[in-house]
DNA sequence: ATTTGGCACTCGACCGAGTTAAGTGCCAAT
DNA sequence: ATTGGCACTTAACTCGGTCGAGTGCCAAAT
C-alpha cells in the first residue's frame, strides 16, 4: 500500500510536469506546492516512487517525470473530476442547437471536443449494426439499374446501385419496395440477414434473379459497413506539442488517416470513460500517446465511441471531464431524436 | 528577354534545390549537371538571375535558392510534362475499379493523389449547383414529420427532416412526391428555386403550410450546400518536410481543417491545371506553400476541383502531371456513370 | 566580348573546453 | 522520521577558433 503522502507527491509531480513539460525536481516541488515538507524529505519519497516504477529520471542530474504507470495510478487513484469552466459548460450545452442531420451532429461534436480539450478529437459514427431500419427506398434509374437507399433510425442514409440481369418493370419495383419495407421496417440491422433469408421465395421465378441481386446489395449495406466510419478534428493541436517532432509526428498523423487504426484505438464500445496510457495500447507507433474515450448513444446500449488522443503528458482530469460531458450531451440529443 | 542559357541554369537550380533542400552553389551545379560551362560563368549568370529576382541567397556565403518568382518562371517556361512512372500510371488506371458510390470515388481519389504526389491531397465533392436532380423522395416518419431525400445525377444523396405544422396523410405525401418529381427530375440544382417558385399554388389552401415547409427545406438543400464539401488526405506527408516545424506547421494543419479556407484555396473551377506559388495566394499563413489544382467533371462543364498542397519547394512537374492525370481519369469515370 | 582561373573575403556550421545550474544521494544532526 | 549540508553528476549554455562552401571581382585567355 502506497502512503497517502507519497500519492500526494505523485500528484504534484504530474500536475507540474503537465503544466511545464519539464522534469520536476524536489526544490521547485516544495516551493510551488505547499506540502509542509522539506525538499530532502521529498527526495526520499521520490526515491521510493521511482523504485515502485511510477516516476523516472531522464538522466542522473535531472528532475523526475511520471512513467506510464505513474499516470495510470494518477488517473485511477488520485485525479478528481475537474469541473468544467463556465464557458466550456456553456459551449457544451449549446453546440448541437439547430443541428440538421446526423453528419452535422457528428461534425459539430468532433469540433467541439477538439476545441475544448485542445487535443485531437475522434468521433465514431453511430454504429449501423445496432440501429434499425427506418425505410428502404428503391428507385429505378434505368430499366436495368436500381438505386437502393437505406435509411436508419439514427438518421443515417446509405445508397448503392445495383445492376440487374433482366429488365424490371415499375410495378415489380413497387412490389419489391413494399415487401421489403413490410419485413424490414423497425428491424435491427444485424437481424436483417435473418429476416430476408427466404425473401426471394415470395417472388415468381422470373423475377428471382433480379430480386436476389437487390437483396444481396442490401445485405452488403447492413453488414459490410459494420466497419464503421470515424472522423477526426483538431490535428492542428498536435503542433502545440513541443516533443521531438519529426520522429513522433509522422506516425500519429498516419494513424489518424487510417479508419481501421482509429477504430481499434477507440476500442470496445462500453459505458463510462476509459483511459489508455502509452504502452497500454498496442500500436507500437503510438506509445507516447494516450487516449481518453467514452461510449455514447441511448442509455443502456451505447452505439459508438468518441474520444481524444494526445501526448501521455496531458491534462487527464480535464480531458476526462470534457469527454464524458460531451458524450452525455450527445447521447441525450440522439435519444430525443433531432 | 532572358537568355536560354540562363533559364537552363535556373532549371538546374530548381531541380537541385528540390532534390536536396540545400542552397545550391556554382561549383556543385557545374559538377552535377553537365552544362559545358565553368563555375565562374555560372556565378556571373547567377548574379543576373538574382538581379531579376528569380533566385536569392539566404546569407552572403551560401548558395542560391529559387524565389517564388523563380518557381513561377520555372513552371511557366521551363518545366516539361514529366511522364508518370509505370507504377503510377498503373495505379491511376485502376484505382476506381469497383468503386461503389460517390463517397467511395472521392475517397479513393484523394488517397491516390496523396500517395502518388507524396503531398497533402484535397478533393472537392462534385458541386451540387451544377448537377441535376435525379429523384426526390419523401418519406413520412410520423404524421407530423417528413424525411426528404434528394438524389442527384452525380450520385450524391442529401437528406433532411421537416417538422410539419399539421398532420399530412399518406395520400398527400404521395401527391407531393409525384408533383415534385414531375417538375424537378432532370433539372439542374441551381434552377430549382425558379422551378418551384409557384409550386405551392397547385395545392389546396389547407395543405399549403405543410407544402411550403417541405419546399423550403428542399430549397435549402439545393442552395445552402453550394458551400461545398472538401476532403483531405495525406497530412502525414507534411511530416516529411524538413522545414522549421512548429512555426510553419500549425497554420497548415489549421487551414486543412477549415472547409472554407480549402475551398478558397482550390479557387475557381476551370479547365486545365493551375499552380499557385507561395505569395501568389493571399492567405498570409500559407505563403510558403504552393497549390496545384485542376478542375474535373464532365467535359466542358467542370463541376469541382481537386489538387495538392505542399511546400513551395516541391516537384512541380511531377505534381502537375499527377494532378492532371488523376483529374482526367476521374472525369472520365464520372462521365460514364458508375 | 565572353569565358575562365585565381584569389581574397564572408559567414554559417562545427568542434572542444570551460562554466553554470539544477538536481540527486547520502550522511550526520535534530 | 525529518532536515540541512555537502559532494557529485550531467545536460545546457557560452566562448573562441577552425573549417569549408560559396561569393565577387579581376586579370588573363580565348
Annotate B98-163 with three-state secondary structure. Answer: CCCCHHHHHHHHHHHHHHHHCCEEEEECCCHHHCEEEEEEEEEEECCEEEEEEEECCCCEEEEEEE
d(CA B29, CA B7): 14
Report CA(B60)–C1'(C8) in Å, whole number. Answer: 15
Does residue B229 belong to the interface with chain A, where contact is any CB pair within 8 Å?
Answer: no
Residues from chain B contacting residue A157 (CB–CB below 8 Å): 149, 157, 159
**Residue segments in chain A with a per-residue pLDDT below the cut of 50:** 1, 226
Residue nearest C12, CA–C1′ metric: B61
Between positions 81 and 140 of B, the ones with CB within 8 A of A are 100-101, 134-135, 137, 139
Of B235, B239, B256, the CB nearest to A246: B239
| Closest residue in chain B to residue A107, using alpha carbons only | B257
Task: pLDDT band for B1, please (50, 70, 90 cuts).
Answer: very low
If we measure between CA atoms, which residue out of B171, B256, B219 comes closest to residue A238? B256
Q: Are A53 and A261 in contact (CB under 8 A)?
A: no
Backbone angles phi, psi at A159, to 5 degrees: -130, 155
Does residue B185 belong to the interface with chain A, where contact is any CB pair within 8 Å?
Answer: no
Cα–Cα–Cα angle for B183, B158, A94, rounded to 5 degrees: 130
d(CA A23, CA A44): 17
Q: Say if the Cβ atoms of B151 and A135 lie within 8 Å.
A: no
d(CA A93, CA A71): 30
Of A101, A161, A238, the CB nearest to B159: A101
Report CA(B50)–C1'(D13) in Å, whole number. Answer: 38
Residues from chain B contacting residue A238 (CB–CB below 8 Å): 253
d(CA B217, CA A309): 37
CA distance B255 to chain A (A): 9
Residues from chain B contacting residue A137 (CB–CB below 8 Å): 137, 139, 149
| Closest residue in chain B to residue A185, using alpha carbons only | B141
Q: Say if the Cβ atoms of B159 and A159 lie within 8 Å.
A: no
Q: Are A211 and A199 in contact (CB under 8 A)?
A: yes
CA distance A56 to chain B (A): 28
Report how many Cβ contacts below 8 Å link chain A to chain B.
85
Residue A211 buriedness (CB in 10 A; 0-12 / 13-18 / 19+): buried
Q: Are A263 and A124 in contact (CB under 8 A)?
A: yes
CB atoms within 10 A of CB B78: 15
To 10 degrees, the CA torsion angle through B220, B221, B223, B224? Answer: 70
- Residues composing chain A: 338
The reported pLDDT for the residue numbered A126 is: 82
d(CA B37, CA B34): 8
Residues from chain A contacting residue B232 (CB–CB below 8 Å): none
Residue nearest C24, CA–C1′ metric: A61
d(CA B89, CA B83): 9
Does residue A142 belong to the interface with chain B, where contact is any CB pair within 8 Å?
Answer: no
- In the DSSP assignment, the letter for residue A166 is S
Q: Which residue's entry shows cell 502518388? A: B116
DSSP three-state, residue B178? helix
Residues from chain A contacting residue B149 (CB–CB below 8 Å): 137, 149, 151, 157
CA distance A170 to chain B (A): 14
- In the DSSP assignment, the letter for residue B291 is E
Does residue A242 belong to the interface with chain B, where contact is any CB pair within 8 Å?
Answer: yes
Backbone angles phi, psi at A305, to 5 degrees: -115, 155
pLDDT digits (tens, 9 = 90+) for B77-123: 988 888 999 999 999 999 998 887 788 899 999 999 999 999 999 99
d(CA B292, CA B277): 9
Residues from chain A contacting residue B338 (CB–CB below 8 Å): 161
The reported pLDDT for the residue numbered B220 is: 86
Residue A60 buriedness (CB in 10 A; 0-12 / 13-18 / 19+): exposed
Task: List residues bridging with B140 in a β-sheet.
Answer: B146
The reported pLDDT for the residue numbered B112 is: 97
Whether B338 has a pLDDT exceeding 70, the answer reads no
Q: Are A67 and A17 in contact (CB under 8 A)?
A: no
Estimate the share of chain B in helix, then strand, then coil, as percent rounded to the nearest 5. Answer: 55, 20, 30
Strands (E), A218-264: 230-233
CA distance A254 to chain B (A): 5
DSSP three-state, residue B69? helix
pLDDT digits (tens, 9 = 90+) for B6-25: 999 999 999 999 999 999 99
Distance of CA A301 to the CA centre of its chain: 15
Residues from chain A contacting residue B257 (CB–CB below 8 Å): 233-236
Distance of CA B59 to the CA centre of its chain: 36
Report CA(A60)–C1'(C18) in Å, whole number. Answer: 21
d(CA A261, CA A264): 5
Task: List residues bridging with A142 in a β-sheet.
Answer: A145
- In the DSSP assignment, the letter for residue B337 is -
For the residues B272-285, what does the mean pLDDT come to?
94
DSSP three-state, residue A147? strand
Q: Which residue's entry shows cell 547567377? A: B46
Q: Say if the Cβ atoms of A257 and B234 lie within 8 Å.
A: yes
If we measure between CA atoms, which residue out of B170, B130, B124 comes closest to residue B146? B170
If we measure between CA atoms, which residue out of B162, B169, B266, B261 comes closest to residue B214? B162
Q: Say if the Cβ atoms of B233 and A141 lie within 8 Å.
A: no
Residues with CB under 7 A from strand D: A 36-41, 44, 59-62; B 23-28, 39-40, 43, 46-47, 50, 57, 60-64
Backbone angles phi, psi at B316, to 5 degrees: -65, -45
Stated as kind and residue range, the H or E segment containing A192 is: helix A192-195
Question: Cα dist. A190→A127, A150, A196 in Å?
Answer: 11, 14, 11
If we measure between CA atoms, which residue out of B66, B59, B52 comes closest to residue B10? B66
Q: Which residue's entry shows cell 500528484? A: A11
pLDDT digits (tens, 9 = 90+) for B36-72: 899 999 999 999 999 999 999 999 999 999 999 999 9
d(CA B216, CA A155): 20
Does residue A245 belong to the interface with chain B, where contact is any CB pair within 8 Å?
Answer: yes
| Full-model pTM | 0.85
CA distance A156 to chain B (A): 9
The grid cell for B124 is 472537392
β-sheet with A145-152: strand ranges across: A133-142, A145-152, A157-163
Provide the b/e sequence for A72-107 (b: ≥16 CB within 10 Å). Answer: bbbbeeebeeeebeeebeebbeebbeebbbbbebbb
Measured on CA atoms in the order A304, A308, A312, A316, is the torsion positive or negative?
negative
Strands (E), chain A: 55-56, 65-66, 120-124, 133-142, 145-152, 157-163, 230-233, 273-277, 289-296, 304-311
Amino acid at each position: 500500500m502506497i502512503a497517502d503522502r507519497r500519492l500526494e507527491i505523485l500528484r504534484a509531480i504530474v500536475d507540474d510536469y503537465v503544466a511545464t513539460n519539464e522534469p520536476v525536481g524536489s526544490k521547485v516541488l516544495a516551493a510551488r506546492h505547499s506540502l509542509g515538507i522539506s525538499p530532502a524529505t521529498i527526495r526520499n519519497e521520490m526515491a521510493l516512487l521511482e523504485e515502485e516504477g511510477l516516476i523516472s529520471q531522464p538522466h542522473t542530474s535531472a528532475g523526475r517525470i511520471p512513467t506510464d504507470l505513474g499516470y495510470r495510478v494518477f488517473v485511477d487513484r488520485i485525479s478528481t473530476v475537474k469541473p468544467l469552466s463556465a464557458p466550456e459548460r456553456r459551449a457544451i450545452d449549446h453546440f448541437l442547437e439547430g443541428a440538421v442531420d446526423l453528419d452535422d451532429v457528428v461534425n459539430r461534436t468532433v469540433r467541439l471536443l477538439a476545441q475544448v480539450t485542445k487535443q485531437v478529437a475522434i468521433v465514431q459514427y453511430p454504429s449501423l449494426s445496432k440501429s434499425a431500419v427506418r425505410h428502404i427506398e428503391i428507385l429505378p434509374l434505368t430499366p436495368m439499374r436500381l438505386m437502393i437507399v437505406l435509411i436508419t433510425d439514427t438518421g443515417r442514409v446509405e445508397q448503392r446501385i445495383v445492376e440487374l440481369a433482366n429488365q424490371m418493370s415499375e410495378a415489380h419495383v413497387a412490389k419489391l419496395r413494399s415487401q421489403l419495407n413490410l419485413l424490414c421496417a423497425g428491424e435491427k440491422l444485424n437481424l436483417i440477414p435473418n429476416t430476408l433469408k427466404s425473401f426471394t421465395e415470395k417472388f415468381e421465378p422470373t423475377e428471382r434473379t433480379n430480386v436476389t441481386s437487390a437483396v444481396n446489395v442490401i445485405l452488403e449495406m447492413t453488414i459490410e459497413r459494420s466497419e464503421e466510419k470515424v472522423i477526426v478534428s483538431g490535428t492542428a493541436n498536435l503542433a502545440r506539442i513541443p516533443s521531438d517532432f519529426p520522429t513522433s509526428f509522422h506516425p500519429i498523423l498516419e494513424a489518424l488517416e487510417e479508419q481501421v487504426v482509429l477504430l481499434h484505438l477507440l476500442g470496445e464500445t462500453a459505458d463510462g470513460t476509459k483511459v489508455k496510457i502509452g504502452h497500454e495500447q498496442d500500436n507500437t507507433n503510438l506509445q507516447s500517446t494516450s487516449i481518453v474515450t467514452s461510449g455514447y448513444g441511448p442509455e443502456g446500449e451505447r452505439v459508438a465511441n468518441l474520444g481524444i488522443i494526445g501526448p501521455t503528458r496531458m491534462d487527464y482530469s480535464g480531458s476526462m471531464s470534457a469527454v464524458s460531458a460531451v458524450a452525455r450531451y450527445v447521447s441525450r440529443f440522439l435519444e430525443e431524436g433531432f
